[in-house]
Chains A and B, each alone.
Chain A
């Protein structure tokens, strides 16, 4: 099976081509640059480099969020439209799970997170074999860490935004918090391909971003409705 994997849900932009279980090529950057400009040239270059034509693809795997709303939409629009045009399945993988897979060999729980500003994070908790221990959510980091403190486990933290919350993590969890070296904090698109290979694909049209948050205008509107 030939899989193209795409991740533009955060500052990391990743593209991978996996052929019959072999990682033929992978392209990863972690830059504050425009995914919309750079994604398709990256796919084009990697597919050419790995000698893969679009018709040879059997499946597309994509990080479906949470993350930057715009970033998630760029990746998902690309994955969905390519899959639709080529008439092949597309599979959405949690952007958090993609990062969590970096800690697959850790003997304990794995907590991936993305900073969501104002003290908030998108996060979730994974066990061995990527079992979901706590569902993904948008939560105050401090509140989340106290929730994790109740668990009697060591927890591996993986995040491209580690610097923003590292002190708080160490303060609340002390020795129970395990923080790996820097290369482990970025999602790898080949792991998204790997996860996408086993996951059951749904209809292309029904794949939508997992924002974990409603738009601000809608939140305000709902608040107003409550008041009336």
Chain B
């Protein structure tokens, strides 16, 4: 075990073409992300067919850039990891087929990785895991509380019943006519506004760790609509601050309650919305009072990247997971089933 182990990973589940190399499970060697955001802006969201077209144009360029940056040769790579799902099927297909081709050409082992497992494992590039731990996964497509008792095991104790947190951000941003992607704009406006509107908090059943954001989203839209009809002027900054306060309150309160109930050593925040400064601040305040260590990765590891796929893929690889040449994109891949998958 004295030899260093290098995992090269590919991630193309949405609108980033990403390639990264991770050394010995935890050391980031290189992390290249080719973003398509400029191309999707004019459509107000990611257009799947256009995302797929960009991926195939960028794939080998991104691979080459990552390899050159690492100073490694392909022969030094021990295994290829790739996001097999969830995500946009056409986008995933480019990454999956590129990974298979790379693994086949160089006769390397291949490992399929769940995108959310990746988001969680991004944190392990910063700090070693201590089990049991909880992960609060918040992104455009996900809002989940995931319990991990050991490496590679994932138990979902709470999830959204309707919109993901990031989705609610995007919809409210659209209502406020903010440019795509709206999340960072709301976060910025919220920092300049007052929490002057009392938007609802959706707590659901007393013991539930599930989330619901569609009611909040409707409430924001209705409030804006009613104000307009009455000729009242609501400041966008105040709407953003009040909306964000509701989202952040529910997320952080449930996270703390879960951390205490499950007696976890760490609370990991993962996914694109983990970049949100309001959420970071609320979590930091609430977790200062409890025994659980709060871990929030730096922003470049929160948003979609391949380093996280390499980090999760390295663990799966060392646990003996191997994908066959028939590996396929799986847009609806289930996290718990992925964790239970046998070698």
Contacts and interface: CB of A to CB of B under 8 A. Distances in A.
B57 A77 contact: no
Contacts of B192: none
B107 A77 contact: no
Contact of A215 (B50, B60, B74): B50
Interface string A173-209: 0000000000000000000000000000000110011
A78 interface: yes
For the residues of A in contact with B, the DSSP-based class is: helix
Nearest to A77: B97
For the residues of B in contact with A, the DSSP-based class is: helix
A59 interface: no
A211 B327 CA distance: 25
B42 A221 contact: yes
B102 A85 contact: yes
A101 interface: no
B326 A69 contact: no
B96 interface: yes
A221 B97 contact: no
Interface in B9-66: 42-43, 47, 49-50, 52-53, 56-57, 59-61, 63-64
A82 B105 CA distance: 6
Nearest to A215: B49
A172 interface: no
A224 to B, nearest CB: 10
A37 B97 contact: no
A218 to B, nearest CB: 7
B52 A205 contact: no
Interface stretch (A12-20, A38-46, A106-114): A38-46
B104 interface: yes
B81 to A, nearest CB: 15
Interface string A66-109: 00011001101111111011100000000000000000000000
Given A84-B63, A205-B61, A215-B50, A34 B105 contact: no
A41 B325 contact: yes
B59 A81 contact: yes
A217 interface: yes
A204 B64 CA distance: 11
Contact of B60 (A43, A54, A205): A205
Contact of B98 (A37, A38, A77, A221): A77
Contacts of B90: 69-70, 73
A217 B97 contact: no
A36 interface: yes
A44 B325 contact: yes
Nearest to A207: B60
B93 A70 contact: yes
Contacts of B94: 73, 77
Contact of A218 (B50, B102, B104): B50
Given A37-B326, A41-B326, A76 B56 contact: yes
Interface string A205-228: 100110100011110010000000
A40 B328 contact: no
Contacts of B105: 54, 81-82, 85-86
Contacts of B42: 221
Contacts of A205: 60-61, 64
Interface string A141-152: 000000000000
A61 to B, nearest CB: 15
7 contacts: A40-B327, A41-B324, A44-B104, A54-B106, A73-B90, A78-B97, A85-B105
